[in-house]
Amino acid sequence: MSTVQEIESAIKRLDDKDLGHLSGWLEDYLAEKWDQRFAADVVSGKLDKLGEAADRAFEQGRCRRL
């Protein structure tokens, strides 16, 4: 049995309280991982072209208020 299958099996055995706790923890964990990935992409320059395109669109008046 793989580790993922073992985790899935263990999750299925959780009561509602523990399942809720795990769900909240996983949501926080995934958000932190996303933040770390985004920060790494910013530092590496992966988002530079998107930022430049957004700046050009703004300067050309192609943006609208949200």
Name the domain count of the chain.
1
Instruction: List per-residue pLDDT tens for the chain, 66 residues long.
Output: 799 999 999 999 999 999 999 999 999 999 999 999 999 999 999 999 999 999 999 999 999 888
DSSP assigned state of 15: -
Q: Which residues form the domain of 27? A: 3-59
Residue 18 domain flag: yes
| Inter-CA distances, 59 with 36, 46, 52, Å | 30, 22, 10
Residue 64 in tokens? 């609208």
Residue 66 domain-assigned? no
**Would 64 be classed as within a structural domain?**
no
Cβ pair 57, 63 in contact under 8 A: yes
